[in-house]
Amino acid sequence: MNNPIDPSGPEQARAAVREAYGRVAAGVGSCCGPSSCCGGQSTDAEVLARALGYGDSDLAALPQGANLGLSCGNPTALAGLRPGEVVLDLGCGGGFDVFLAGRRVGVTGRAIGVDMTPEMIARARRNAQTYRQQTGLDNVEFRLGEIEHLPVADGSVDVIISNCVINLSPEKAQVWKEMNRVLKPGGRVAVTDVALLKPLPDTVRQSVAALVGCIAGAELVEVTRNLIESAGFTRIQMRSHPDHIAAMFNASDPVFRQLRALFPETGSPQAWITSLEITAEKPWTDGQNR
């Protein structure tokens, strides 16, 4: 998976991501490599999740197989979800954050996951059966679609979350515009994603493994802020977590060992990349009150 890629080809990038994550969903590959997700052990995924701020009670409440070890932060905690809210997760994978969100918004709320990989949606829907049995709640759903063209109605969502996914999109400006479209006025965003502190070395930037491993597609921090502002969001806050990158590279997934070898020996990956916690709001329209 180390062949050079053409970063200007959005369809090529989407195809690479869809293929790789389809293998993860089927249980036959990591997010980038042919071995396994986070070394193929659920305990490895749990170790990473704990390092990113997920509690034992959260992990114990998940359907088996929902945590695929694909996180770089904890957006459900960042969002401060409240009962009755409608939550949308961009790039939901096997439903990890959707199931946590569903518990928080309760019987009067709803949690919706969108993913472009059919195998992921199928896995999430199977997991949803276990979630319903465990909780007695029927408040989660999963929709197949691209985050650049969300299958969600205008102004229908209170909160958008996403966990290490927006960097995978070759059309990030369009993603942020779509987020603004589907949010209600006054709605909020709570996203964790990988961003660049400085341009990547060419060996990393041109690697397909780095693309689907949430690195090669990342933007500079200030470019990310500009995209959010241009989409019409306000109250933007961005907090860097280099420790989350360290946790990801310390995981046993073979792809991260492979990626580490692409960086110069004199520097750690945290010198180039960080995990960002991003919060923002869609402004209220004229005449509306909070």
Per-residue confidence (pLDDT) for residue 30, from 0 to 100: 44
Q: What are phi and psi of 89, to 5 degrees?
A: -110, 120
Q: Would you say residue 172 has pLDDT above 60?
A: yes
Given CA atoms 29, 167, 251, 100 in this order, what sign does their dihedral have?
A: negative
pLDDT of residue 43: 61
At 218-260, the pLDDT tens digits run: 899 999 999 999 999 999 999 999 888 888 777 656 666 677 7
Query: What is the spatial distance between Cα 271 and Cα 280, in angstroms, rounded to a whole number?
Result: 26
| pLDDT tens sequence across 174-186 | 999 999 999 999 9
| Range among 64-68, 245-249, 254-258, 278-282 with highest mean pLDDT value | 278-282
- Please give the domain boundaries of the chain with CATH numbers for all domains: 10-281 (3.40.50.150)
Nearest in space to 242 (alpha carbons), one of 72, 84, 26? 72
Q: What are phi and psi of 243, to 5 degrees?
A: -65, -30
Q: Give SS3 for 189.
A: strand
Pair of tokens at residue 79 = 């969002």
Q: Around Cβ 51, how many Cβ atoms within 10 Å?
A: 16
The average confidence (pLDDT) of the chain is 84
Distance CA 87, CA 214 (A): 23
Q: Is the model's pTM score more than 0.95?
A: no
Q: How confident is the model at residue 262 (pLDDT cuts 50, 70, 90)?
A: confident
Q: pLDDT digit string (tens) for 100-152?
A: 999 999 999 999 999 999 999 999 999 999 999 999 999 999 999 999 999 99
Pick the residue with more confidence: 283 or 252?
Answer: 283
